Amino acid sequence: MAKPFDIRKQTGFTPLAILCFVLLYLPIILLVVYSFNAGSSIALWEGFSLRWYASAWENEAVQAATIRSVVIASAASALATTAAVLAALATTRVKPWRGQGAVFAMINQPLMVPEIVTAVSLLIFFAMIKVQTGYTGLWYLILAHAAFCIPFAYMPIRARLQGMDLTLEQAASDLYATPWQTFRRITLPQLFPGILAGAMLAFVISLDDVVITEFVKSAGQDTLPTYMLGQLRRNITPEVNAISTALLAASIILVVAFFFLSRTRK
């Protein structure tokens, strides 16, 4: 009897896997290490220091960009998660209908289309609105981030809905509960872990976004990632490493929380 195929037992798998992990994580490790460099060089180690963390903490531009990033990510996450919940209910709590696959593809379009294409499209669309209204506030960035983050929130919410037992919802309907009562008292409490996981994932995606932000933002609307990109174009110091490390830590915390929340519960 032929043995099942196991990729881990193939010749060269282990060294290739190790090489991939080294290439993936070594630059990140070096970035974190050199964020504690006492000198001004990003390549020459001159001793351990928290100097650049203190510098970033006291930098007013960094503070403003951080606050702006959190505001945009929070608002975009809330909008994207709300839309994702409605979309997930519309594609899972109904009988199969013609065109359902096309709708699913449309919802996940930002995942399939290169981000630069989405960014240029949003730039053109919002530029037309700016010309007509004269408004140049943060809502353009919030709406752009929300549109991009919808599929990231949609996937865990839809997966949660598909894994839920319909017995309780059917029982509520049999007891003359309205659709809203059934959703509020039965569906929503069970769906909440998926909603929270989707919201956190959307928040991380929005917080880290550079391409869409760079195209859509107006003057004076730098987020933390675009501020860092601007600094790299001018004068590179370990302060950028310190900011990157802080952003990396925040992203890791949120992604780990997303992992635990999105796990299937027995």
DSSP-assigned letters across all residues of 150-206:
HHHHHHHHHHHHHTS-SHHHHHHHHTT--HHHHIIIIIHHHHHHHHHHHHHHHHHHH
**pLDDT reading at 42 higher than 60:** yes
Q: 235-249 pLDDT, tens per residue?
A: 777 888 888 888 888
Which percentage of the chain shows pLDDT scores above 90? 21
266: pLDDT strictly greater than 60: no
Can you tell me the distance from the alpha carbon of 120 to that of 211, in angstroms, rounded to the nearest whole number?
Answer: 9
Q: 77-81, 189-193, 202-206: which has the minimum mean pLDDT?
A: 189-193
Average pLDDT along the chain? 85
Give the model's pLDDT for residue 102. 78
What the chain holds in terms of domains, given with CATH numbers, is 60-262 (1.10.3720.10)
Give pLDDT tens digits for 121-176. 999 999 999 888 888 888 999 999 999 999 999 988 988 888 887 788 778 877 88
Mean pLDDT of 2-12: 71
195: left (phi over 0), alpha (psi -120 to 50) or beta: alpha
3-state secondary structure (DSSP) of residue 10: coil
